[in-house]
Structure 1
Amino acid sequence: MGEVTKTLELKLVDPNVHKREKLRETRDAYQQALQAAFAAGCDTQSAANDVVVEYDLSGYAKNALKMYVPQLHNSYDADELHDDHPVRFTNEGLQLDHQPQNAIEWYVKIPHHEDYHLWIPAHANPDQRELLEAVYADDAEMGESRLFERDGTWYLHVTAARDVEDQSGASARQRTPIGVDIGEASLVTVCHCDESGSPVRPRLWADDGKAVRRLRKTYFTAIRRLQKRGSERIAESYGDALWDRIDDVFHHVTSEVVEYAESVENPVLVLEDLTYIRENMDYGEYMNRRLHGWGFAKLHAQIRYKAAEKGIPVETVNPRNTSKACHACGEHGYRPRQATFQCSNDGCWVGEYQADVNGAINIADRYRGGESHRQSDRTSRQKAGDDDSATDGASLTGPQDSQADAETQQVTLGTYAS
C-alpha cells in the first residue's frame, strides 16, 4: 500500500467587503507573527510559540507557524523572508461542505482568529473533483492548507493524502532500484542496472536543465531591473509568469521519470534524502547559494506523488558522496568538467564517465546495499522528537460567521459567478 499526496486548488468566490477585510486582517497578522518569530531566530516549536502566541490569530495558524518557522532555520537555511508567504493552517483548521444542488457546490470554513471564522463559497478545480469528494467523505486525509491573494482573488491550496495499492507485490529484494540524480546541469538523471551490475538505459534531462537555468537567470536579471525602476507590480506579475514556465518544465520531466519507471520490471525510484542534502553540496559559497535555491524539494514532491498514483514505491538514501565516488570501484574522483566524472583509481576500468549517470548509479546502489529511509518512517521519527505538541492554541468556540451567510452570498452572484 502506498500513499498519494496532492494539492487541491480552491478559488474563493468574491467574498464581500466584510469578509475581504477579515481575510486581510488574518494575512497581515500572520505575516507580522512570521516575521517576528523568524527575526527572533526561533529554531524550536517552543521558541516560536512564545512569539506567535501574542498575535491575533486562530490556534490553527499559530500551530502552523510553530512548525514552519523552525523549518526555515533548520531545514532551509533561510537568510531573509519576503512578505508574500501564504497563511498556513494545520489540518484541523479548515472545514469543507458540499451542496451539489447549489450553483456553487463547495463552501470552506476559514479560521479568522481565536473566536471567529468565515464561511465562503469556492470553485474547485474540476480535474480534482474525485479527490475533493474523497476528502469530504473522509476517504482521504486533509493536510495543511494555505490561504493567499493573487491579483485581487483569494485562493486556498489544501494538501490531501489517499492510500493507493502498490503496482507490484514484489519484496524489496526483488525490486529494481532506479537511481534518480537531481542536479543543475542535467535537471534529472535516471539509471538502473542489470543483474551483473551494468548500467541500463540511462536517461538525462539536460536540455530541460538548460531551459530552467535560462529562465531563472532571466527572472533574477529582469526582477532586479524592474525593482530599480520601482515597477513592483510588473515585477511580481512577470516573476509569476516565469516561475509558471519553470513549473511546467518540472511537471513534464517528473512525469517522464515516472514513465521510465513504469517501463522497468518491479521498479522502485530511489531519491536522495533531503534531510541530508546539504552534506553533498560542498562546492564553495557561490555554488552552494545557487544549489540551495534549486528546486530539489519541488522535484522530489512531484516524483513522489506521481509515482504513488501509479503504485510505484519511492525510497530515499543518504546522498553523501554519491557525486564523488566511482560507481565501479568506490574510489573518490573529481570533475574536470561539469558533466564528466574522472575516477582517481588508475586500475579502474571507468576512467572518465558521465558524472550524473555515475551519481544515479551510486544512488541506486545505496538502496541495493540495504540502505533506505521511507518517507513515512522519517516523518514519524521527526514527530517523535518534537519538543511540544501541535495542540496549543484556542479552539473556535465564540461567535462565528455562518454557512447560511455564504449560501446567501453565492445565490446573489448567480450561476455564472467566477
Structure 2
Amino acid sequence: MTGLTKTLELKLVDPNAHKRRKLRETREAYQHALQDAFDARCTTQTEANDVVLTYDLSGYAKNALKKYVPQLTTTYNAGDLHDDHPIRFTNEGLRLDHKPENGIEWYVKIPHHEDYHLWMPAQPNPEQRDWLEALNAGDAEMGESRLFERDGTWSLHVTATRDVEERSEVSAEERTPIGVDIGEASLVTVCHRDNHGSPTAPELWAEEGKTVRQLRKTYFTATRRLQTRGSERIAESFGDDLWRQIDDVFHRVTREVVEYAESVENPVLVLEDLTDIRESMDYGEYMNRRLHGWGFAKLHGQIRYKAVEMGIPVETVNPRNTSKECHACGEVGNRPKQATFTCTNEACWMGEYQADVNGAINIADRYLSGESRSREYENDDDSAEDGGRLTAPQDSHADAETQQATRGTYAS
C-alpha cells in the first residue's frame, strides 16, 4: 500500500450576509495574530502560542498558527508576509456532511471561534468526488485545511491522505524505469530503455513548455504595469486567470505522462529529488525568478498522485549532474544550446543528443543503479546526499546503429 495525499477543492456556495461577516471576522483576527507572531520572530510553538493565545480564534486556527509561524521564521526565512494569507485549520477543525438528497450535496463546518461554528454548503471539484466520499466514510484521513477569499468568493482547500494499492507486486529489478525530466524548453520529457538497453520512445512536451513560458511572461509584464497604475485588484484577477491556464496545461501534461507509463510493462516513474534544488539556485535575479516560479513542485506532485492512483509506483533519485552527463558513457559534457547536449568524450559514439531526452535517460538510469529513494508521503524529507558522480550504464557498441538512429531523430 502507498499513502497518497491530495488537496481537495471546495467552493463555498453563496454565504449570507451574517456568515460573510463571521468569515471576515475570522480572517481579520487570523491575519493580525499571524502578523504579530511573525513580527515577534517566534521560532517555537511555545513562543507563537504566547502571542496568538489572546486572539478570538478557534483552537484549530491557533494550533495551525503555532506550527506555521516557526516554519516561516526558521525554515523559509521569510523577510515579510504577503498581505492575505489563507486561514489555516488543523485536521480536527473541519467537518464534512453529505446530503445526497439535496440539490447541494456537501456541507462543511468551519470553526469561527471556540464556541461558534459555521455550517456552509460547498461545491466540490467534481473530479474529486470519490476522495470526498472516502473522507466522509472514514477511508481517508483529513489533514490541514485552508480558507481563501478571492473577489468575494470563499473556498476551502482540504488535504486528504488515503492508502492506494500498487497495481503489481513485481520486484524493483523487474520494473521498467521511466525517466521524467522537468525543464523549461520541454515542460516534461519522458524516456525509458528497451530490453536491449537502448533509449526508446522518448516523448517531449516542448510546445507546452513554450505556452507556459509565454503565459508567465505575460503575467509578469501585465501585472507589473497594472500595479504601477494602482490597479491592484485587476492585476490580481488577471494573474489568477493566467495561472488557471497554466494549471490546465500542467494537468493535461501530467495526465499524459501517466498514460505513457501505462503503455510500458511494469513501469516505475523516476523523478529527480528536488527537495533542496530551489534553495541552491543562484543564476542571477532574472533566471532565479523564472526557475523559482516554474512549478517544479506542482508538476512533481501532480505526476505523483496521478501515477499512484493508477497503481504506478514513483521513485526519486539524486539530481546531481543528470543534465550534464552523457547517458552513453557517463562523461560530463556541455550544452551549447538549451535543447542540445554534446558529449566531450571522443571515444563515445554519441556526439550530440537531445538534451532533455539525455537527462530523462540519466534519471531512469539512476534507478537502475540502485540510487533511488521512495517518497511515500508528500512532506517526507528524503533528499539524497550530494555524493560522487554516478555513471550511467554503458550503451553497447552492438547497439550503435540503434543509438545513432535515436540521436538523429531526437537531436536538435
Q: TM-score surpassing 0.5?
A: yes
Once the two structures are superposed, the pairs formed by residues 19-168 of structure 1 within 5 Å of their partners are 19-39=19-39, 48-49=48-49, 51-53=51-53, 55-72=55-72, 80-168=80-168
Corresponding residue of 2:239: 239
Query: d(CA) in 2 for partners of 1:48 and 1:362?
Result: 45
Q: Which moved more, 1:28-37 or 1:200-209?
A: 28-37
Cα shift at 1:301? 1.0
Call closer, same or farther: CA 1:264–1:280 in 2, change over 3 Å: farther
Once the two structures are superposed, the pairs formed by residues 2-401 of structure 1 within 5 Å of their partners are 2-39=2-39, 48-49=48-49, 51-53=51-53, 55-72=55-72, 80-278=80-278, 281=281, 283-376=283-376, 379=379
SS at match of 1:135: helix
In structure 1, give the amino acid aligned to 2:186.
Answer: S
Cα shift at 1:199? 0.9
Corresponding residue of 2:394: none
Query: d(CA) in 2 for partners of 1:332 and 1:74?
Result: 36
SS at match of 2:14: coil
Q: Which has the higher contact order (CA 8 A, sep 6+)?
A: 1
Q: What's the C-alpha RMSD, in Å, of the aligned pairs?
A: 2.5
Call closer, same or farther: CA 1:76–1:262 in 2, change over 3 Å: farther
SS at match of 1:269: strand
Q: Deviations over 1:171-223 (max 9, x none)?
A: 11111111111111111111111244321111111111110000000011110
In structure 1, give the amino acid aligned to 2:256.
Answer: E
SS at match of 1:275: coil
Q: TM-score, normalised by structure 2?
A: 0.84
In structure 2, give the amino acid aligned to 1:159.
Answer: T
Whether the 8 Å contact between 1:4 and 1:306 is mirrored in structure 2 is no
Whether the 8 Å contact between 1:176 and 1:192 is mirrored in structure 2 is yes
Query: d(CA) in 2 for partners of 1:21 and 1:9?
Result: 22
Corresponding residue of 2:397: none
Q: Which moved more, 1:71-80 or 1:133-142?
A: 71-80
Corresponding residue of 1:416: none
| Number of residue equivalences | 382
Q: TM-score, normalised by structure 1?
A: 0.83
Cα shift at 1:280? 6.8
Cα shift at 1:39? 4.9
Cα shift at 1:160? 2.1
Query: d(CA) in 2 for partners of 1:253 and 1:378?
Result: 20
Corresponding residue of 2:391: none
In structure 1, give the amino acid aligned to 2:287.
Answer: M
Call closer, same or farther: CA 1:83–1:280 in 2, change over 3 Å: closer
SS at match of 1:319: coil
% identical equivalent positions: 77
SS at match of 2:277: helix
Whether the 8 Å contact between 2:4 and 2:376 is mirrored in structure 1 is no
Structure 1 unaligned spans of 5+: 383-418
SS at match of 1:274: coil
Corresponding residue of 1:407: none
Q: Deviations over 1:41-100 (max 9, x none)?
A: 556656655554454433322333344445556666655542233222221111112233
In structure 1, give the amino acid aligned to 2:18.
Answer: H
Q: Deviations over 1:211-241 (max 9, x none)?
A: 0000000011110111111112211111111
Whether the 8 Å contact between 1:276 and 1:320 is mirrored in structure 2 is no
Call closer, same or farther: CA 1:185–1:13 in 2, change over 3 Å: same
Q: Which moved more, 1:259-268 or 1:325-334?
A: 325-334
Whether the 8 Å contact between 1:276 and 1:319 is mirrored in structure 2 is no
SS at match of 2:161: strand
Q: Which moved more, 1:312-321 or 1:122-131?
A: 122-131
